[in-house]
Structure formats: structure tokens, C-alpha cells
Amino acid sequence: NQMLKADSATGEIRRFLVGPKGCEITGITWSPDRRTMFIGIQHPGVRATSHFPGGGNSVPRSSVIAIQREDGKKIG
């Protein structure tokens, strides 16, 4: 349940994000201007280990999250 990024120039691999317990990270895509990345979070809490995204005792739900850079530049 994590996503890694690799720097092709240096060969360095770093963790980009970690999803909720028990999830599968799926469906990565970008907006046409490449300023927003969309990530699918699928099957969180199938084994009752997560209450994503509501927290507390809520029923876990699959979702899509949008990621943007703080400086507004393109991703990647």
C-alpha cells in the first residue's frame, strides 16, 4: 500500500505516499496540465483494519485523492 518514485538520473528510489491500512493504491493519472495527480484508494479496511476516509467507527470506502504541489508547479 505504498507508491515509490525513482529518479532516472541518479537511480535513487524514494517513497512518495503510503495508503491506509489494508488498501490497494490504484488508478494513477494526471490532470491535462499535470498540476494535479489523482490516486485511487481501493479496498481500505476489507479486514476491518481501517475506517478510511471518515475515521472513528465509519465504514471504510474506496476513494480518489488529488495531490498538488505547494508551489503550484507541474508534477513529475
Q: Mean pLDDT in the chain?
A: 87
- Tell me how many domains the chain contains: 1
**Is the CA virtual torsion 49, 53, 57, 60 positive or negative?**
negative
pTM: 0.74
Mean pLDDT (whole number) for 4-19: 93
* Residue 47 covered by a domain: yes
Domain range for 34 is 21-76
Q: Which three cell numbers stand for residue 70?
A: 505547494
Select the more confidently predicted residue: 12 or 44. Answer: 12
> Is the CB of residue 38 less than 8 Å from the CB of residue 29?
yes
Mean pLDDT computed over 10-24: 89
Domain membership flag for residue 4: no
The reply to whether 25 falls in a domain is yes
What are 24-39's pLDDT values in tens digits? 898 899 999 999 999 9
On whether residue 9 sits in a domain, the answer given is no
Please, is 23 exposed, middle or buried when counting C-beta atoms within 10 Å of its C-beta (0-12, 13-18, 19+)?
buried
Task: Tell me what the mean pLDDT of segment 45-73 comes to.
Answer: 83
Residue type for position 19? G
Is the model's pLDDT at 50 over the cut of 80? no
